Amino acid sequence: MQTPTATKATQLIAASQRMTLDPFTEVDWSIPIDDSAYHLPPDKLPLFGTAQWEGMTGLQRREYSRHECAALCAAGIWFENMLMQTVLRHLANLPVTDPTHRYLLVEVADECRHSTMFGEYIRRAGTPAYAPRVDVDVFGPADGLPGGRAMAYLLILAVEELLDVCNRATMRDHSIHVVSRQIAKLHVIEESRHVSFAKTYLCDVWPTLTDEERNGASEFAPHAVGFVADLMVHDGVYETLGIEGGAFAARNNPINRMRVVRDLAKLTGFLEGLGVINDSSRAAWVERGLAA
């Protein structure tokens, strides 16, 4: 009998055949990426509601949103690079006859297109290349973390869910710059397949782990997800724009901290159901500012 992961992979291959999008035809790159509109919804910007935000003109806020959007795209490229490494290592261990094999290659191909799309936005937005300022190996050996490959997929899911909430808000808001909305829409459509795969895989694999592996993973997960959430604020944005105390204000902004908890709610709800967040690990999620 097929595992739910194998069945899901077959369904997702069919869904990918029905809809796979090319960012160089779906996104209208002839439209200038300028400051005529916000590039992210204002309430998704880390500085929203702070004294620094209140002190900005409308134009400065829109310019800041262009830099935040570029930083988010750069974080997206970085995350996609890291998670592709996880998927490629998974592929290296899978026989080609496994139904998951073809799907995982489709997922890698999706991420390659997404990263070219994010890169194109950054180049056209005229901002610096805001790559996260961390060692590239920090996420790379995720398979070796507590819980092994399950933890690696949990991290993939965390990144995808966090970006998904922001992407959905962006694509639905008609006042946002059209290029940003087109990018967000493409990403939402294709990432929904990845989210669905990661969840099915985790539900399949989690019960097969030993108690020791499960406990280790439960204990480690809030730190790993916290690390991902922290990368959503990039000091370089504030340095480039000369916003005094901007990075500190963004990290300590109670409005932004509440937003992170809200944006992670789908993930944390799923992890509660799975048992990753349980009575002994819940406090660490709250302490880390990831759950209420």
Q: How far is the CB of 187 from Fe ion (least distance, A)?
A: 6
Q: Which of 10, 14, 64, 24 is nearest to 41 (CA)?
A: 64
| Residue the block writes with tokens 């209420």 | 292
Residues 6+ apart with CB under 8 A from 177: 33, 36, 37, 38, 39
Q: How far is the CB of 68 from Fe ion (least distance, A)?
A: 18
Q: How far is the CB of 133 from Fe ion (least distance, A)?
A: 21
For residues 27 and 186, is the Cβ–Cβ distance under 8 A? yes
> Of the two residues 111 and 173, which places its CB atom closer to Fe ion in the complex?
111
> Of the two residues 35 and 107, which places its CB atom closer to Fe ion in the complex?
107
> Of the two residues 111 and 120, which places its CB atom closer to Fe ion in the complex?
111
Q: How far is the CB of 79 from Fe ion (least distance, A)?
A: 8
Q: Which residues contribute to the site for Fe ion (CB under 5 A)?
A: 111, 114, 191, 194
H helices of the chain, in order, are 4-18, 23-26, 51-54, 58-92, 99-125, 149-172, 178-205, 211-230, 235-241, 246-251, 254-263, 265-274, 282-287
Q: Is 1 helix (H, G, I), strand (E, B) or coil?
A: coil
Q: How far is the CB of 147 from Fe ion (least distance, A)?
A: 20
Distance of CA 269 to the CA centre of its chain: 17
Q: How far is the CB of 84 from Fe ion (least distance, A)?
A: 9
Amino acid letter for position 161: E
> Of the two residues 194 and 234, which places its CB atom closer to Fe ion in the complex?
194
Residues 6+ apart with CB under 8 A from 201: 5, 8, 153
Q: How far is the CB of 159 from Fe ion (least distance, A)?
A: 8
Enter the DSSP assignment of 145.
S
> What's the Rg (C-alpha) of the chain?
19
> Of the two residues 114 and 199, which places its CB atom closer to Fe ion in the complex?
114
